[in-house]
Copies of this chain bind each other. A is one copy, B any other.
Amino acid sequence: MIVVMAPHATPDQIRDVEDRIIGWGYGVHPIYGAERTVIGAVGVPEADKAHCLEQLERLDYVESAIAIIKPYKFVSREFRPETTCINVGSVSIGGPSVIMMAGPCTVESYELTLETAKLVRSLGFSVLRGGAFKPCTSPYSFQGLGVEGLRILRAVADVTGLAIVTEVMDPRNVEIVSQYADILQIGTRNMQNYDLLREVGHGSKPALLKRGMWAKIEEWLQAAEYIVSGGNEKVMLCERGIRTFETHTRNTLDLSAVAAVKELSHLPVIVDPSQGTGRWSLVEAMSRAAIAAGADGLLIEVHPEPEKAIKDGAQSITHEGFVALADSCRSVAAAVGRSLA
């Protein structure tokens, strides 16, 4: 922690700040500059650093207080240098293969889900996505089939041998969703739903944590820290676009965050170009780009007839489109020394 004193700070005020820092268990190293005094606080005390910083910044005679150590630990690559691999069914997420997770935005029926699942399987992929509990901006939209949707997903998975990733929104539903799903998706709107994070952290199912559309990379990693520090180390991160001023795309897919998170953390990173762009015609290009940027997996919305999909038709690709996407993604994966599975 570095504390920059205000230019007008008196010796007594400097001593006051030093006393506070010492009181929290830090060692103190003042640097007397030409225009300002700077105080270095050394050590790793028990005190909550974020609040120490805030308390210091409240003082008239402190200009700013700056954290030096990153606000997350278990998820950092400093803590664990090798990338975490999460085994789900027959695949290993975070390993040499880029993992394709595909399926309908929303589970509509057993038949439609099965149709897409068979395609996913036939292309050699192992994970089916599909929504049973749906977060909807409007209370008047279809909110998903709920437990009935979970049952359909499980039945389709059992028939096809696919693993299932599906969203859980309510901490009260973590248990039941865990009974049906192989990976629990935490959606963008719930990235800082701490009670949900805690509940998933106490379980044992792998979690796919989407980035909040407002969240800095650092905050995303802190959300992951909630789950890991709760005991569940099987967390994968999912970039799905952030909110910016651009309106042509639904979100701005931040692929530089993929490369950045791979440096900062050992957790695998998935990319969702369907939500990330909101436009089906951009999904294939951004899938290729995600793999080229270093993603460990993709989450793709596929529907046999997107123009009849109950939800998110505008961003879903057809079965034909998915075959083409898989083909061009395989080439790019090979170009960066990986396979697509």
| Interface size class of chain A, counting residues whose CB lies under 8 Å from the partner chain | 35 or more
Task: Render A146-190 as a binary contact track against B, CB cut-off 8 A, 1 for contact.
Answer: 000000000000000000000001111000000000000000011
Among B7, B33, B289, point to the contact of A42 (Cβ < 8 A).
B33
Chain B proximity of A320: nearest CB distance (Å): 13
Most B CB contacts (10 A, CB to CB) among A35, A68, A230 go to A68
Q: Which of A90-98, A109-117, A119-127, A290-298 lies at the binding interface?
A: A290-298
Among B34, B242, B289, point to the contact of A246 (Cβ < 8 A).
B242
Q: Tell yes or no: A288 within 8 A of B by CB.
A: yes
Q: Tell yes or no: A226 within 8 A of B by CB.
A: yes
Among B38, B53, B214, B336, point to the contact of A245 (Cβ < 8 A).
B214
Cα of A54 to Cα of B136 in the assembled complex, Å: 14
Q: Tell yes or no: A4 within 8 A of B by CB.
A: yes
Q: Tell yes or no: A139 within 8 A of B by CB.
A: yes
Does B222 contact A194, Cβ atoms closer than 8 Å? no
Q: Tell yes or no: A15 within 8 A of B by CB.
A: no
Q: A50 to chain B: which residues have CB within 8 Å?
A: 137-138, 141
Leading 10 A-B pairs by shortest Cβ distance = A214-B214, A335-B335, A292-B292, A259-B285, A289-B293, A170-B195, A288-B292, A189-B192, A31-B40, A331-B335
Chain B proximity of A190: nearest CB distance (Å): 7
Cα of A202 to Cα of B59 in the assembled complex, Å: 40
Chain B proximity of A184: nearest CB distance (Å): 15
Task: Render A247-268 as a binary contact track against B, CB cut-off 8 A, 1 for contact.
Answer: 1110011111111100100000
Q: A255-B289, A286-B293 are in contact. Are A38 and B2 (CB under 8 A)?
A: yes
Q: A328-B336, A335-B332 are in contact. Are A216 and B245 (CB under 8 A)?
A: yes
17 pairs, A vs B, C-beta closer than 8 Å? A33-B42, A40-B40, A58-B280, A58-B316, A139-B225, A139-B226, A169-B195, A216-B247, A217-B248, A248-B260, A256-B277, A285-B292, A286-B293, A288-B292, A289-B290, A331-B335, A332-B332
Q: Tell yes or no: A213 within 8 A of B by CB.
A: yes
Does B243 contact A245, Cβ atoms closer than 8 Å? yes
Across the interface, name the chain B residue whose C-beta is closest to A26.
Answer: B33
Cα of A324 to Cα of B300 in the assembled complex, Å: 31
Task: Render A13-44 as a binary contact track against B, CB cut-off 8 A, 1 for contact.
Answer: 00000000000000001011111101010111
Across the interface, name the chain B residue whose C-beta is closest to A55.
Answer: B313
Q: A68 to chain B: which residues have CB within 8 Å?
A: 4, 33, 36, 38
Q: Tell yes or no: A193 within 8 A of B by CB.
A: yes
Across the interface, name the chain B residue whose C-beta is closest to A333.
Answer: B335
Cα of A136 to Cα of B49 in the assembled complex, Å: 13
Q: A137-B192, A195-B169, A214-B212 are in contact. Are A307 and B43 (CB under 8 A)?
A: no
Cα of A289 to Cα of B55 in the assembled complex, Å: 26
Q: Tell yes or no: A312 within 8 A of B by CB.
A: yes
Q: A193-B193, A246-B217, A248-B218 are in contact. Are A313 and B54 (CB under 8 A)?
A: yes
Q: Tell yes or no: A244 within 8 A of B by CB.
A: yes
